[in-house]
Amino acid sequence: MNDPIRVIDLGLVSPLRSQSIYHGLAYALTPDTPDTILLVGPTDPYVCIGYHQELVKEVDVDFCREHNLPIYRREVGGGAVYLDKGQVFTQWIFQRGHLPATLEDRFALYIKPLVDTYQALGIDATLRPINDIHVRGKKIGGTGAAQIGNADVVVGSLMFDFNFELMARVLKVPSEKMRDKIYQSLQEYMTTMTKELGYTPDYEEVKQLYLEQCARALSRELIFGEPTPEEMAITEEVEARLASDEWLYQKGGLRQTAAVKIHADVYLVESAHKAPGGLIRATARLREGRIDDLTLSGDFTMIPAFAVGALEQALRGMPIEEDALRRKVQEFYRALNVQSPGVTAEDWVQALMNLKV
């Protein structure tokens, strides 16, 4: 694959456009569309949640409304995050088959130019598998992947600066003591270019450096371009969906917590399991020891995206029995060729076994 890669640098755009544009490019992709690297940042702060998350469980919605912080759900996995113009988003929208087949290899390729850019600036960044970038044990930005339309999409950012206080504030937590702990942990275990260098480097110079590293890592020529009218029309359609409450609140499901007895044979119960690749939440209605209804959510990455909903359906009617659940989930992974970095069939089994009343 030697065709040139299109580079689109949109600079600063509205918060909604900074999320909708890569979705729009992906949905507009045809066999003739060039692979694209998109650089973009938001003019104003906002909060973005992962595709599989439940809004009201992850974000303090009332605080965001009071402080005019929009909230959007992306079609990429991962967790809730506060975003502003302290980050330049680096979004790859590629034809299927033009990136490595496994997510582990895909993330490694995507992260290499980011790591090389940081190192060229004098920041000792390294890849921390599966999809993190660390500087001496501190995380500097996150990455995510999805299949959107006919495109393979990988997203991340160049982390110039970050508002740790607002990040801790927008999250839904059980107490202010916990919020203080989150803020302290963010300060201790996250970093930025500004923190590492003692100053904020020039945005344009860093973007140029990053693109040079992309050309080297991908062994392909980069050519600057613009979105087509068709791509912008689809982006505007995507914006209407991303801005809707129906899309934002879609992973509603059952919202009860702990175990709630409905009658002798019916319970509503919720569990959480922390896998290496992210948090899994399972909320279920159990009838006579079997899964009658189920909602799965969390900050994991799972491809194909519809696999989460399909797994919910596949597990309905199953007893809360370890061996039976293990066989079912393993069969499901094989049948759909599911990829979920850091989340195995055993993690799903554990999350489901935690539902047992």
Q: What is the DSSP letter of 83?
A: E
Q: Set out the domains of the chain in order of their start, with CATH numbers.
A: 5-248 (3.30.930.10), 259-353 (3.30.390.50)
Give the residue from 232, 167, 224 showing the smallest Cα distance to 20.
Answer: 232
DSSP letters spanning 182-242: HHHHHHHHB--HHHHHSSPPPHHHHHHHHHHHHHHHHTS-EEE----HHHHHHHHHHHHHH
**Percent of the chain with pLDDT strictly greater than 70:** 96
Structure confidence by residue, pLDDT tens digits, 315-354: 999 999 999 999 999 999 999 999 999 999 999 999 999 9
The residue that leads in pLDDT, 33 or 259, is: 33
Mean pLDDT in the chain? 93
pTM: 0.85
Task: State residue 256's pLDDT score.
Answer: 41
Which residue reads 């087509």 in tokens?
A: 228
Instruction: Output the CA angle 96-156-27, nearest 5 degrees.
Output: 40
What is the pLDDT confidence band of residue 267, given thresholds at 50, 70 and 90? confident
Residue 49 reports pLDDT greater than 90:
yes
b/e burial code for range 158-194 (CB count within 10 A of at least 16 → b): bbbebebebbbbbbbeeeeeebeebbeebeeebbbbe
Structure confidence by residue, pLDDT tens digits, 179-198: 998 899 999 999 999 999 99
Average pLDDT over every residue of 192-218: 98
CA distances 273 to 279, 296, 318, 349, 351, Å, are 6, 11, 19, 10, 5
What is the pLDDT confidence band of residue 171, given thresholds at 50, 70 and 90? very high
Task: State residue 251's pLDDT score.
Answer: 63
- For residues 142 and 131, the answer to whether their CB atoms sit within 8 Å is yes
Residue 26 reports pLDDT greater than 80:
yes
What is the pLDDT confidence band of residue 173, given thresholds at 50, 70 and 90? confident
What is the pLDDT confidence band of residue 264, given thresholds at 50, 70 and 90? low
Which residue reads 């692979």 in tokens?
A: 35
Instruction: Output the CA angle 96-99-103, nearest 5 degrees.
Output: 100
Structure confidence by residue, pLDDT tens digits, 282-309: 988 898 889 998 999 999 999 998 999 9
Average pLDDT over every residue of 101-107: 94
